[in-house]
C-alpha cells in the first residue's frame, strides 16, 4: 500500500469518527491525528480528502474544514444540510458559526498530558 493510500485510509477513519460524534475538525487536526503533516497550505491533507471523496463517496468529507473556519459554497451547503450554521462572507465563502464549539476535541493520551505537565 502506498503512503498516499495509507494516509487516505487514516483520514477516512477519522471522518467516520467525526460523523459518529456529529462534529467537525480542522484540516491540520485531522492530519495530526492521522500521523502526518498537513503540508504547506494543507496540500497534503487536501490531496487525501480528494482520494477519500473518490474512493469512499459515502464519507462526509465536508466535516474536514479549513483551520480558519472559512468554507467554499459547496462545503457550506453540505454543512447547512447537516444542521451546522454558516454565515455568508463578502468574498463568496462562508464562515462556520460557533466554529470552536463544533470542533471535535480528542482526548490527550494520559502519558502525553503527564509528560507535558512534568516538563513545565
The DSSP call for residue 103 is B
| CATH class given for the domain over 3-119 | mainly alpha
Domain ranges within the chain, ordered by starting residue: 3-119
- pLDDT tens by residue, 9-68: 999 999 999 999 999 999 999 999 999 999 999 999 999 999 999 999 999 999 999 999
Query: Which of these, 93, 112, 103, 110, lies nearest to 29 by C-alpha position?
Result: 103
Residue 70 sits at φ, ψ, to 5 deg, of -95, 120
Residue 4's pLDDT is what? 80
Using an 8 Å Cβ cutoff, are 74 and 93 in contact? no
Distances (CA, A) of 56 to 10, 13, 21, 29: 12, 11, 19, 20
State the pTM of this model.
0.85
For the stretch 93-108, pLDDT in tens is 999 999 999 999 987 6
Amino acid at each position: 500500500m502506498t503512503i498516499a493510500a495509507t494516509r487516505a485510509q487514516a483520514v477516512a477513519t477519522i471522518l467516520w469518527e467525526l460523523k459518529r460524534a456529529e462534529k467537525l475538525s480542522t484540516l491540520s487536526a485531522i492530519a495530526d491525528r492521522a500521523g502526518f503533516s498537513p503540508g504547506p497550505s494543507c496540500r497534503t491533507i487536501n490531496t487525501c480528502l480528494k482520494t477519500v471523496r473518490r474512493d469512499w463517496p459515502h464519507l462526509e468529507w465536508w466535516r474536514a474544514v479549513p483551520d480558519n473556519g472559512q468554507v467554499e459554497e459547496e462545503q457550506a451547503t453540505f454543512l447547512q444540510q447537516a444542521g451546522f450554521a454558516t454565515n455568508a462572507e463578502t468574498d463568496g465563502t462562508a464562515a462556520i458559526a460557533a466554529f470552536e464549539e463544533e470542533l471535535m476535541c480528542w482526548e490527550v493520551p494520559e502519558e502525553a498530558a503527564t509528560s507535558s505537565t512534568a516538563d513545565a
